[in-house]
Structure 1
Amino acid sequence: MRAWRDHLSAALPRLAVVVHDLAMVWCCWTGLHWLRYGFAANPPPVDWWSTQIAIVLVAQGLVFWQAGLYRGLWRFASVPDLWNIVKASVIGLLAIVLGLFIYNRLGQVPRAVLLAYPFALVGLLGTPRLLYRAWKDSSSERYGRSPVRTLILGADEAGDALVRDLRRSGAYQPVGFLDDAAKLRGSKLHGVPVLGAIDDVVEIAKETSAKLLVIAMPAVEAAEMQRVVAACERTGLPFRTVPRLEDVLVGRSLPGELKEVAIEDLLGRKPVLPDWKAIRGWLGGRSVMVTGAGGSIGSELCRQCARHGAQRVALVEIDELALMTMEAELRRDFPSLECIAVLGDCGDPAVIRHALELAQPDALFHAAAYKQVPLLEAQLREAVRNNVLATETVASACRNAGVGTFVLISTDKAVDPANVLGASKRLAEMVCQAMAVQRSTHFVTVRFGNVLDSAGSVVPLFREQIRAGGPVTVTDAEVTRYFMTIPEACQLILQAAAIGSHDAIYTLDMGEPVPIRLLAEQMIRLAGKQPGRDIAIVYTGLRPGEKLHETLFHADERYRQTAHPKILQAEARSVVSEQVLGTLRGMREACARYDQAALGDALQLAVPEFLPADEPQEQHVATIVRFPARDSRRI
């Protein structure tokens, strides 16, 4: 019964418009006849109703309906509506002529009436619409309101809540919904009509004079989001989206907040939802330490630890500005948190020993590392010193101090490494395995793929190139990578630490790899431009150390499910502790001499699966866009 009433309330306004328009057609037809004969000496009687008038009303009414005259709202009548009326009037005249010709060969129909009919009808239909809009606009101005006319894509629970939030803000005026569910067509939510399907957004945005589009579809699949975004882009209007529920729950977004569509919304993989109960149970009341605390991963780890119950967070960072910024943020956002900041190189035994004495952590997250693949190919000494030897220094200090859990942040590039970064991180994993022989400390390794928007990654590079007008540089048309967001990567790290098996290597089931070419195209579109037309994409060839495709799993590491369905645990390959630690002693001596040849031989011997990638392909462009160097010490 309620649904029937809602349908009736939605249909009545349109029925009133139909009656008005047909009444204007009757007035136009009979009025023109009266004017034609009104000044004659012996005018014939004017028929106020006849079969002829019935044919005119039916023919013109059908044309009105087919022309979509009743999809628009009078409140937002504009030039497109008037043009629609002009077309409907002209086509309607042709339909009337055809109908009357069949009926009576156009007998007793003055030619002057036919010529004047479309002009008169346009005036009779357009004038009331424009007057109504002018009256509504003046009413809004009189009360000091100038809200942004907003069209909402999605008429389910999210759209319902969004209408209430927009109206409470007073800055937005919802003018209609678009939804692909046919059963919702013509219905209303909070008095706002469902005007059509999402693919109709271009026409309906013009008809409603919308100035903003909001996508209220937070749980939609990435492929569907791509379709919706493409439809929004065709309008040329700005568009926003509502945040996902998990973003609201963890505090990354506010309820009702409108945000820009992010690249992670379009990449085709659902975010991994962590077991927050397990994480909070493990983290609550603990003291934790993060090395590389000012980097992309390190800083988000600090935030999530503070947000989910850590009592004390210690920050170790070599960059003074990054350390100062992160400390200030934690003190501002978490006043009850005990925050300890230590400036220094975590590879310095005195620094890490001092930090451990101050913080007395229950867990340490080792996020400090160099990570830029092409750069490290020519910087072997620093890669080994920071990624391998510093890991050994921190891990050894944690074991000596009795820290409960040591978590190494590793990478998918450590699987069958083809570059110095991957080989150095694989050796760092082996160091942790060697340290795990003495079981006073749990050593946990977490591997994941590329992190969207991390410092020095491809996303900020593409964004800068797009802002500069292009071109966007992609190494190869076929290159693919696994991607995850910064918060997702940190949730994986915390989840793995909470699972907490001794001497474990965890990796994420990351779904399908993403072509970098597709990533570039999506980012260009999100910037409101078209790939190849507004922004060029050029292919520069693989850089030193790069592979076309990354590998998540090693053939000799048997994987099994964990308590979390998307986190897999690898059975670590056995290592000889004495051999690994002996290799490190030789590497320290080679570092002291800056003997890169000896370091290369030692790294190849320690990581026999390390097969350096082929020489980079010939450059396809003469000019390479360069940007200011970033501090790549932190992940």
Structure 2
Amino acid sequence: MKRRLAILIPVYLVTYSVCYYVAFLLRFDFSLSERYVSMYAGTLPVVLLLKLSTNIATSEWRRRFRYTSIRDVFNLFVGSSAAAVLLFCANVALFSEARIPRSVILIDWTLAMLAIGVLRMLVRVYREQVRILLRGHDGCKRTLIFRSDKNSIGILRTLQATSSDFQVVAFVDPVLRGASAVVSGVPVYAEEEGWARLAKKLRAHHVLIPSSVPGKVVRALVSECSKANLKTHIIPTVPELADGRYKVSVRDVTISDLLRREPAELDRRAIRQYVSNKRVLVTGGAGSIGSELCRQLIRLQPAELVLVDQSEFGVFTMQQELSSQYPDASLCFAVADVTDRSAMARIFESHTPQLVFHAAAYKHVPLMEDNPLAAVHNNVLGTKVVVDLSGETGVERFVFISTDKAVRPSNVMGSTKLVAEKYVQAGSRTWDTQYMCVRFGNVLNSAGSVVPTFRKQIELGGPISVTHPEMERFFMTIPEAVQLVLQAGAIGSSGDVLILEMGEPVKILDLAKDLISLSGLHYPDDIDIVFSGIRPGEKLQEELFYHCEEGTKKVHDKIFCASRKAPRLVDVHRNVNRVLESNTDDDVKQILTETVSAFVDADRATPRIRRAA
């Protein structure tokens, strides 16, 4: 800063002195008498002092020239006007015998403002245009920017301000029709002209896509650009981007970008209200959903956050992450098994949580088919322990993380989650705690899920193994799922089953092809796909609603609420005990089948909720 001031102050002093002298020349038709030359010399120190003072007051020298914006020009106008007003006052108070002509003050105000404004713009033009021309186009990446809205224009300004290797040659807008336009000196072309034609015409090799573009659009865009030999990149859009004050990070398109949806409008006030200054406990806190829950909860400033997980390494990893990022937060990390009632009771007694998010569960369908006793023990008994302790210790709100596989389940994992759902609902008829279930489909990039598995197979050279060409699943990114879980916890009532709107299902085959393409490879030339057949317990398509839940109303833009009559705890308790008392894999599968069949049959007998308008 000192070095900048050492340069700026002399430059400003010279500029102001010249402008003040030229104001006299213009006023007197370039013929100055000795009287006015003497007046100029005698009043110049006061003029410079007033102008330097207003510069300090308006932080003129703290505003970077290379990022000059409309706000900076307005600040210059305010400072110059203030200096002119002060000079008028000083003219009356200090120069009674030889007052400066008022027209000179007005001319000087105009000249000084124009001179400093032009100086600022020249620095920016040099940084953004001249330097690029001087160094030539060698090494520059000729680039198209998708859309021409404020986010895209912000990207352009950032790239220009940071002297990036990406040389923007055009915007490509899907809305524009007919004749092209020009924005910030860059032409805008209609997407209907075709990406291949535009790439050839403009000699472009890259496309920058704002991160606000929905995944469905990104997917189509990546496909079209790939055919035109254009490499696609994602650029995050943040509020600071439009000012050009922060260097944007350009990254390759990921599978999450292809499946991203329009951001949900969250009631952040309601979420913060039920989390802030509360003691919060998260089971399965080291897992994919649980860990993200902890990350988002800690930002809401709970009184205490208790993370519980049976994985010592997982808990250690989260401890290192959260403790370093939030050193002042009240955090507790407990290595414990949710099926161990005595251990969980000690945790509840020590921390008396007010909110509980139960995310601990075994989730891998084929693995649980081979280990049904373990699935029942963890998913059913673990839920029972946490539900019971929450009710007995007066927890205010309990949120259970469920799955679409609990809808008419065809496998052990889904069956255990359905039984757990029923037990949570039954708790709402027994204790004052507000119990609710949040049901949603698959999340991207969770541990052991399909995307990391496909990536590993690609790294090994393939082939990618897909169970069936028609296999479909609902997908959502982990951060979005957790945001909606928190929102559901804020708006749900006791006994509710809240179902997240998952969008359109995605074919696993398409997902595999997308991952191959994003890896810079081609199917089937570089990586092949083989079909291994449906595994035990799997469905071709998953469901989110039971018959009686179809047509249920939305309580949020992306959340449905299935308000169903909760079963009695004594009835569910009887079924749960039968399941837990099973001693062999065959027995537990048989009893699970009978129990789940009873629940599903009861659902069929329940009248459908009238479809919301």
TM-score normalised by length of structure 2 = 0.70
CA distance in 2, matches of 1:429, 1:192: 56
CA distance in 2, matches of 1:313, 1:472: 41
1:278 aligns with 2:246: no
Equivalences for 1:322-471 in 2 at 5 Å? 322-471=314-463
CA contact (8 A) 1:199 1:231 kept: no
Equivalences for 1:112-511 in 2 at 5 Å? 139-140=134-135, 148-180=141-173, 182=176, 187-194=181-188, 197=191, 200-202=194-196, 204-205=198-199, 210=204, 212-216=206-210, 218-243=211-236, 256-267=248-259, 269-511=261-503
- What CA RMSD, in Å, does the superposition of the two structures yield over aligned residues? 3.0
CA contact (8 A) 1:178 1:198 kept: no
Describe the SS at the equivalent of 1:407.
strand
Aligned to 1:565, which of 548, 557, 565?
Answer: 557
CA distance in 2, matches of 1:247, 1:398: 43
Q: Name the aligned partner's letter for residue 214 of structure 1.
A: L
Describe the SS at the equivalent of 2:155.
helix
Q: Name the aligned partner's letter for residue 156 of structure 1.
A: D
Identity of aligned residues (%): 38
For residues 430 and 306 of structure 1, do their structure 2 counterparts lie closer, same or farther at Cα, with a shift above 3 Å needed? same
1:602 aligns with 2:591: yes
Spell out, residue by residue over 1:63-83, the C-alpha distance to the aligned partner (whole angstroms, 9 max, x if none). xxxxxxxxxxxxxxxxxxxxx
Deviation at residue 170 of structure 1 after TM alignment: 2.6
Q: Name the aligned partner's letter for residue 135 of structure 2.
A: S
CA contact (8 A) 2:289 2:478 kept: yes
CA distance in 2, matches of 1:317, 1:223: 36
CA distance in 1, matches of 2:318, 2:432: 31
**For this pair of structures, how many residues does the alignment match?**
466
Deviation at residue 394 of structure 1 after TM alignment: 1.1
CA contact (8 A) 1:445 1:505 kept: yes
After alignment, is 556-565 or 513-522 more displaced?
Answer: 556-565
CA distance in 1, matches of 2:492, 2:561: 11
1:527 aligns with 2:519: yes
For residues 204 and 601 of structure 1, do their structure 2 counterparts lie closer, same or farther at Cα, with a shift above 3 Å needed? closer
CA distance in 1, matches of 2:502, 2:520: 29
Q: Which runs of no fewer than 5 residues in structure 2 stay unpaired?
A: 1-129, 601-613
After alignment, is 301-310 or 184-193 more displaced?
Answer: 184-193
Q: Name the aligned partner's letter for residue 169 of structure 1.
A: T
For residues 167 and 439 of structure 1, do their structure 2 counterparts lie closer, same or farther at Cα, with a shift above 3 Å needed? same
Spell out, residue by residue over 1:336-376, the C-alpha distance to the aligned partner (whole angstroms, 9 max, x if none). 32111001212111221222233322111111100111111
CA distance in 2, matches of 1:146, 1:236: 18
Deviation at residue 199 of structure 1 after TM alignment: 5.4
CA contact (8 A) 1:399 1:440 kept: yes
For residues 377 and 199 of structure 1, do their structure 2 counterparts lie closer, same or farther at Cα, with a shift above 3 Å needed? farther
Deviation at residue 220 of structure 1 after TM alignment: 3.9
CA distance in 2, matches of 1:556, 1:247: 47
After alignment, is 533-542 or 600-609 more displaced?
Answer: 600-609
Deviation at residue 542 of structure 1 after TM alignment: 0.4
Tell me the equivalent position of 2:541: 549
Equivalences for 1:13-32 in 2 at 5 Å? none
Describe the SS at the equivalent of 1:310.
coil
For residues 200 and 600 of structure 1, do their structure 2 counterparts lie closer, same or farther at Cα, with a shift above 3 Å needed? closer
For residues 576 and 285 of structure 1, do their structure 2 counterparts lie closer, same or farther at Cα, with a shift above 3 Å needed? closer
Describe the SS at the equivalent of 2:423.
helix
Deviation at residue 465 of structure 1 after TM alignment: 1.6
CA contact (8 A) 2:428 2:566 kept: no
CA distance in 2, matches of 1:546, 1:343: 32
For residues 534 and 225 of structure 1, do their structure 2 counterparts lie closer, same or farther at Cα, with a shift above 3 Å needed? same
CA distance in 1, matches of 2:355, 2:286: 18
CA distance in 2, matches of 1:397, 1:379: 27
Aligned to 1:512, which of 500, 504, 509?
Answer: 504
Deviation at residue 437 of structure 1 after TM alignment: 2.1
Describe the SS at the equivalent of 1:174.
strand
CA contact (8 A) 1:283 1:310 kept: yes
CA contact (8 A) 1:147 1:170 kept: no
CA contact (8 A) 1:150 1:172 kept: no
After alignment, is 400-409 or 187-196 more displaced?
Answer: 187-196
After alignment, is 595-604 or 541-550 more displaced?
Answer: 595-604
Deviation at residue 156 of structure 1 after TM alignment: 2.2
Q: Which runs of no fewer than 5 residues in structure 1 stay unpaired?
A: 1-134, 249-253, 612-635
Tell me the equivalent position of 2:575: 583
Deviation at residue 243 of structure 1 after TM alignment: 3.0
Higher RCO (Cα < 8 Å, 6 or more apart): 1
CA contact (8 A) 2:142 2:169 kept: no
CA distance in 2, matches of 1:365, 1:451: 17
Q: Name the aligned partner's letter for residue 444 of structure 1.
A: M
CA contact (8 A) 1:177 1:196 kept: no
Spell out, residue by residue over 1:545-566, the C-alpha distance to the aligned partner (whole angstroms, 9 max, x if none). 0011111111134663253132
CA distance in 2, matches of 1:492, 1:300: 12
For residues 141 and 511 of structure 1, do their structure 2 counterparts lie closer, same or farther at Cα, with a shift above 3 Å needed? closer
Tell me the equivalent position of 1:540: 532
TM-score normalised by length of structure 1 = 0.67
Spell out, residue by residue over 1:438-484, the C-alpha distance to the aligned partner (whole angstroms, 9 max, x if none). 23211111100111111111111112222222211111111111111
Q: Name the aligned partner's letter for residue 189 of structure 1.
A: V
Describe the SS at the equivalent of 1:476.
coil
CA contact (8 A) 2:282 2:357 kept: yes
Q: Name the aligned partner's letter for residue 490 of structure 1.
A: V
CA contact (8 A) 2:430 2:569 kept: no
Q: Name the aligned partner's letter for residue 242 of structure 1.
A: I
For residues 235 and 183 of structure 1, do their structure 2 counterparts lie closer, same or farther at Cα, with a shift above 3 Å needed? closer
Q: Name the aligned partner's letter for residue 154 of structure 2.
A: A
Tell me the equivalent position of 2:30: none
CA distance in 2, matches of 1:456, 1:247: 36
Tell me the equivalent position of 1:630: none
CA contact (8 A) 2:151 2:237 kept: no
CA contact (8 A) 2:140 2:167 kept: no
For residues 358 and 199 of structure 1, do their structure 2 counterparts lie closer, same or farther at Cα, with a shift above 3 Å needed? farther
Tell me the equivalent position of 2:68: none
CA distance in 1, matches of 2:194, 2:594: 63
CA contact (8 A) 2:429 2:568 kept: no
